[in-house]
């Protein structure tokens, strides 16, 4: 469309490898737009293991997933990449002029000379509740994320799950919890398939305290069916650990089963795939479509190892490989960051 952002490079995915792609393009004086379906950068490092130590980043003996992400963000700061977070890239179409039209789930549009897919194991999506007939209530009475806490004030809530999200929201909405949150529900039932949690012990203790005070309720069981009246979800059926199914009134159902990655729309962009990975060469890490490159966990080639350090190397070669599409007349030389006055200028360290 006429409002499309015109750019040299779009990076799909802001995991560690997408972030380092910003750096390698930046050294070649290419500004990038970077998009992620998550609301924050870091990919698997942030979503799956923020506090776990990584030991095999060259010259960094130990750092956590969060530290690696923070350091990458600091390292790419000079290059002023534009972040578009909380939106999934849905569409990639080749234009007649050789550029690509890219669109996200939020309607952000780009016209770009090159694309770097750093989509990792896919875009993270909430795991859904598998119960017949329940999908049509999503966004209305069934929720996998809380966008607007005020919409749950004064409602009867059933919150499903045993992790930090489920516990945090149950406590947040519980009227008996004096934490200052403004959006207290009428009632809160926490539902989990077992009496054991993968959440901060302090939250679990607080939840039990509130249950003992009759401020909220904890039930062991799973949602197995729903009860509807005139197109409205009125109750859920919950099968308990004892095998008995009971009816539980429910105005709003909030489900927190964690996020799972899905390759998703990337599979539909006409790129050669092998076992859900994008086939690339090892000279430029280019896909079967000239001008589209793929780096990090999302690609495959003989000998591929899904390691962060491999992804970093791929970024460097992909950036050089993309220059003929971005600046066909420019001669590109390899320069050292230690000694090149030009790179010092680009890095803002002169």
Per CB under 6 A, the list member of 11, 12, 92, 292 interacting with ligand FAD is 12
The pair of structure tokens assigned to 134 is 């329940």
**Binding status of residue 221 toward ligand FAD by CB under 6 A:** no
Site for ligand FAD in 117-136 (CB under 6 A): 118-124
Q: DSSP letter for 150, please.
A: G
Closest approach of ligand FAD to the CB of residue 143, in Å: 20
297 is in an annotated binding site: yes
Q: Which candidate, 248, 253, 254, 49, places its Cα nearest to that of 165?
A: 254
The binder of ligand FAD chosen from 10, 22, 38, 92 (CB under 6 A) = 38
For 21-39, letters b (16+ CB in 10 Å) and e give: bbbbbbbbbbebbbbbbbe
Selected binder of ligand FAD within 10, 15, 28, 292 (CB under 6 A): 15
Helix (H) / strand (E) containing 253 = strand 252-255
Q: CB-wise, 104 or 177, nearer to ligand FAD?
A: 104
Q: Hey, which residues does 53 pair with through a beta bridge?
A: 64
Select the residue interacting with ligand FAD from 238, 255, 308, 315 (CB under 6 A).
308
Rounded least distance, CB 51 to ligand FAD, Å: 11
Q: Does 4 bind ligand FAD (CB under 6 A)?
A: no
Q: Tell which positions 84-113 bind ligand FAD, by CB under 6 A.
A: 88-89
Q: Is 112 annotated as a binding residue?
A: no
Measured between alpha carbons, how far is 287 from 273 in angstroms, rounded to an integer?
9
For residue 179, say whether it is annotated as part of any ligand binding site: no
Q: What is the Cα–Cα distance from 309 to 199, expressed in whole angstroms?
A: 31
* 338 labeled part of a ligand binding site: yes
Under the criterion CB under 6 A, does residue 72 sit at the interface with ligand FAD?
no
Task: Name which of 135, 171, 163 is nearest 253 in CA terms.
Answer: 135
Q: Kindly give, in sequence order, each residue whose CB lies less than 8 Å from that of residue 68, ignoring residues fewer than 6 positions away.
A: 16, 45, 54, 57, 60, 308
> Least separation, in Å, of the C-beta of 24 and ligand FAD?
13
- Least distance to ligand FAD, CB of residue 150, Å: 27
| Beta strand 273-274 pairing with 259-262 | unpaired
Q: Single out the residue of 7, 44, 177, 286 in contact with ligand FAD (rule: CB under 6 A).
A: 44
Q: Which residue is nearest to ligand FAD (CB)?
A: 120
Q: Closer to ligand FAD at the Cβ: 89 or 226?
A: 89
**Could you give the CA distance from residue 194 to residue 242 in angstroms, rounded to a whole number?**
11
Applying CB under 6 A, which of residues 7, 28, 33, 37 lies at the interface with ligand FAD?
37
Task: Report strand pairing: 232-240 vs 63-64.
Answer: unpaired
State in angstroms the smallest separation of the CB of 324 from ligand FAD.
24
Alpha-carbon radius of gyration of the chain:
24
# residues contacting ligand FAD (CB under 6 A): 38
Rounded Cα distance between 45 and 312, Å, is 14
Asked if 300 interacts with ligand FAD (CB under 6 A), we say no
Write the binding mask 260 to 289 for ligand FAD: x where contact by CB under 6 A, - elsewhere.
----xxx-----------------------
- 118 and 25 Cβ atoms separated by less than 8 Å: no
What string of H, E and C letters represents the secondary structure of 288-302? CCCCEEECHHHEECC
x-marked contacts with ligand FAD along 17-36 as a string, rule CB under 6 A: xx----------------xx
Instruction: Evaluate whether 344 touches 311 at the Cβ level (below 8 Å).
Output: no
H or E element at residue 172: helix 164-173
Q: Mark the binding-site residues for FAD, compressed into ranges.
A: 36, 44, 49, 89, 124, 297, 338
Q: Mark the binding-site residues, compressed into ranges.
A: 36, 44, 49, 89, 124, 297, 338
**Which residues are near ligand FAD by CB under 6 A?**
12-18, 35-38, 43-45, 48-49, 54, 56, 88-89, 118-124, 264-266, 296-298, 306-309, 311
């Amino acid at each position: 469309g006429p409002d499309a952002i015109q750019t040299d490079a779009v990076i799909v995915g802001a995991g560690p490898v997408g972030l380092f792609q910003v750096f390698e393009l930046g050294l070649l004086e290419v500004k990038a737009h970077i998009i992620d379906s998550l609301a924050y950068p870091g990919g698997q490092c942030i979503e799956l293991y923020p506090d776990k130590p990584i030991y095999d980043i060259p010259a960094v003996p130990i750092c956590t997933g969060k530290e690696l992400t923070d350091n990458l963000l600091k390292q790419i700061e000079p290059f002023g990449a534009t972040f578009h977070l909380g939106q999934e890239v849905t569409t990639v179409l080749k234009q007649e002029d050789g550029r690509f039209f890219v669109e996200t789930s939020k309607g952000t549009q780009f016209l770009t000379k090159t694309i770097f897919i750093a989509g990792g194991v896919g875009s993270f999506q909430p795991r859904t509740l598998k119960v017949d007939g329940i999908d049509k209530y999503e966004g209305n009475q069934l929720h996998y994320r809380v966008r607007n806490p005020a919409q749950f004030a004064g409602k009867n809530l059933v919150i499903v799950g045993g992790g930090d999200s489920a516990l945090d929201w149950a406590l947040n909405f519980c009227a008996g919890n004096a934490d200052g949150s403004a959006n207290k529900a009428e009632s809160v039932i926490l539902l989990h398939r077992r009496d054991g949690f993968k959440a901060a012990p302090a939250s679990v203790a607080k939840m039990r305290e509130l249950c003992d005070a009759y401020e909220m309720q904890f039930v062991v069981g799973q949602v197995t069916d729903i009860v509807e009246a005139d197109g409205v979800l009125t109750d859920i059926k919950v099968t308990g650990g004892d095998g008995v199914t009971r009816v539980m009134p429910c105005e709003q159902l909030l489900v927190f089963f964690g996020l799972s990655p899905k390759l998703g729309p990337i599979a539909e962009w006409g790129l050669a795939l092998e076992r859900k990975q994008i086939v690339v060469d090892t000279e430029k890490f280019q896909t079967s479509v000239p001008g589209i490159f793929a780096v990090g966990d999302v690609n495959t080639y003989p000998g591929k190892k899904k390691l962060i350090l491999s992804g970093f190397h791929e970024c460097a070669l992909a950036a050089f490989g993309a220059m003929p599409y971005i600046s066909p007349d420019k001669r590109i030389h390899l320069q050292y960051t230690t000694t090149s006055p030009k790179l010092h200028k680009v890095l803002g360290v002169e």
